Amino acid sequence: MRHVEMFFDPQAHMARGVPIADVIGGLSDAIDEHAGEVSAALILCFLRDQPVADAEATLRAAEPHLDRIVGVGLDSAEVGHPPSKFTAVFDRARELGLKPVAHAGEEGPAGYVREALDELGVLRVDHGIRAIEDDDLVARLRRDRTPLTVCPLSNVRLGCVPGIGLHPLPEMLAAELNVSVHSDDPAYFGGYADTNYAAARDGLGLSTEELRTLAENSFRSSFLDEAARTAFTREVRAWESGQPG
């Protein structure tokens, strides 16, 4: 692990009386403590199954701490909570200089991916596995090189796919989508990034070249600066080739 862009849900903590300053402060302390080992950034997520007004209040509460936050996201129960509900709060987040991402097309339909792009202006789609059901959407995602951050073990745990061997990741790779592998709430969904890579390799028979592509895509899709992305992708290529970086 070289770089982490960590989602966190302040609403879940604030509802239990934990101030947002403590939430962000605790995560920031951990990032600073391990800065010599791994780089990290924070993405503040809104709970889509909570009222939009709560998301707006959360963003306002976070404004004094924006120096520690790189972006905003949208997560939690997807079905029945389309991205378009949160257009106004995402507009405000962009005004504040935050990079927008959103969970879409995991439990929800491919249309939610399109909404996330068109209504929220997301730079990256989290999950997005159901996009493969829509040929026009696939063509758009391929053309624009839109990042799709896939979490195979989460998809299986939530019943979005019946088993790892039936996951659409190989089809997404074959369609030349900008897809990469990640973890999703590792303690709950059964594994960190390495476990997800192993599950994809063993359950889907992915080749070393395909694993290398996934890893390179993850760095190219990150919010790191160009120099850092280049250095990390060079490291991935060196690992694949067995040559020193």
Of the candidates 214, 212, 209, the residue with the CA atom closest to the CA atom of residue 235 = 212
Beta carbons of 63 and 108 less than 8 angstroms apart:
no
Active site residue 106: yes
Range with lowest mean pLDDT among 53-62, 81-90, 181-190: 181-190
pLDDT confidence tier of residue 109, bands split at 50, 70 and 90: very high
Of the candidates 179, 106, 79, 166, the residue with the CA atom closest to the CA atom of residue 138 = 179
Of the candidates 19, 18, 73, the residue with the CA atom closest to the CA atom of residue 42 = 73
pLDDT confidence tier of residue 187, bands split at 50, 70 and 90: confident
Alpha carbons 153 and 158: distance in angstroms, whole number: 9
Catalytic residue, candidates 37, 78, 95, 106: 106
pLDDT of residue 68: 97
Map 35-101 to HEC letters: CCCCEEEEEEEEECCCCHHHHHHHHHHHHHHHHHEEEEEEECCCCCCCHHHHHHHHHHHHHCCCEEE
pLDDT of residue 188: 86
Q: Give whole-number Cα distances, 18 to 26, 59, 71, 141, in Å.
A: 11, 16, 21, 39
| Domains detected in the chain | 3-241 (3.20.20.140)
pLDDT confidence tier of residue 180, bands split at 50, 70 and 90: very high
% of the chain residues with pLDDT over 70: 98
pLDDT of residue 190: 79
